[in-house]
Amino acid sequence: MSPPFLKKYLNQWTIGIVLIAILAVIVLLSVIGIPPSVTCTVTECVTDCPIESKMVPLFSSPSDKIARLKDPLFTRQLYTEAIAVEPLLARPNTQVHMGFWSGKGNHGSMLRLLDAVNEGPEASAVPPNRAIWDEGASAYYNYPSYTQLLNEHWYERASGLNGSVLIFGKVYTDTNPVTFTEADEIWGQYSARYTDIAEPIAIATGKPVKVWCFVEGAKAKHIFYAYELPQLRLMEQKGFVQVFFAKTPDADWTKPDDWINGTANAPAPSG
């Protein structure tokens, strides 16, 4: 314990030292805190790119985008992006699962199923199980092509007025105006090509892909019924998929009684 008459001076010295240390840190940060490079591109950013650079919208041509998404080669691109993240999708005997959802409340059900397959005991079974969906090769890793679609902001651009578009609170000039019909077609064609990757996966693994659909309450004009279900019927006819429809939002993929089998028995759209 310090003598009583020294406490006043020790406290003053302590406060002074702390203030000096704080000032020193501030000065140091101002010296070494060099702003990130401003040479980052829109489509390829390194990790030190400022956040705003990574989020700059892409104003792609809608007609060019639709043409590209209709090309069967885009299915091969998505397949390549998927196996780059999860090589087991192309390994013989892997049981691959594909998830589909549409309608209010079904997104969470789809994510739970993905996690149940990819993180449950069957993931390490012999042979293993792996699940994918339209956004990525798991619930956490997006396909680069999906990320680009998000960066193109098709629906926000369709809501623009006189070429001006509001994205993330900032006004941009859209050099390639978009209609809602084009935006629907773009997302629909993307989803159709995602559905088609069941074919190369089934060929590579030697097993039909198990398709799990949470679509209760979905409307006929939604992407599932307009674009994905027709392709699922085609894949089913070719023997590349086995399709199941959830009876309830908490359907368990390991319990057959929780599911309706086959596209012929698909639930009717809600409207």
Does residue 180 lie in a domain region? yes
Residue 55 is predicted with a pLDDT of: 67
- pLDDT, mean of residues 92-113: 96
- pLDDT, mean of residues 151-173: 94
SS3 for 127-196, per residue? CCEEEEECCECCCCCECHHHHHHHHHCHHHHHCCECCEEEECCEEEECCCCCCHHHHHHHHHHHHHHHHH
3-class SS at 209? strand
Does residue 176 lie in a domain region? yes
Does residue 37 lie in a domain region? no
Does residue 6 lie in a domain region? no
Domain of 127 in residue numbering reads as 63-265
Burial annotation 190-213 (CB, 10 A radius, 16+ → b, else e) = bbbbbbbbbbbbbebbebbbbbbb
Is residue 238 predicted with pLDDT exceeding 80? yes
Q: Are 53 and 40 in contact (CB under 8 A)?
A: yes
Among 249, 217, 17, smallest CA distance to 110 is for 249
Does residue 53 lie in a domain region? no
pLDDT in tens, 56-70: 899 999 999 999 999
pLDDT in tens, 19-48: 455 555 444 444 444 333 333 333 333 334
- pLDDT, mean of residues 7-30: 46
Residue 56 is predicted with a pLDDT of: 82
Burial annotation 135-168 (CB, 10 A radius, 16+ → b, else e) = bbbbbeebbebbeebebbbbebbbebeeeebebe
Does residue 21 lie in a domain region? no
Does residue 20 lie in a domain region? no
Query: Considering only 7-11, 60-64, 122-126, 154-158, which range has the smallest mean pLDDT?
Result: 7-11
Quick count: other Cβ atoms within 10 Å of Cβ 83? 18
> How many Å apart are CA 155 and CA 178, to the nearest integer?
8
Q: Are 95 and 128 in contact (CB under 8 A)?
A: yes
Number of separate domains in the chain: 1
Does residue 55 lie in a domain region? no
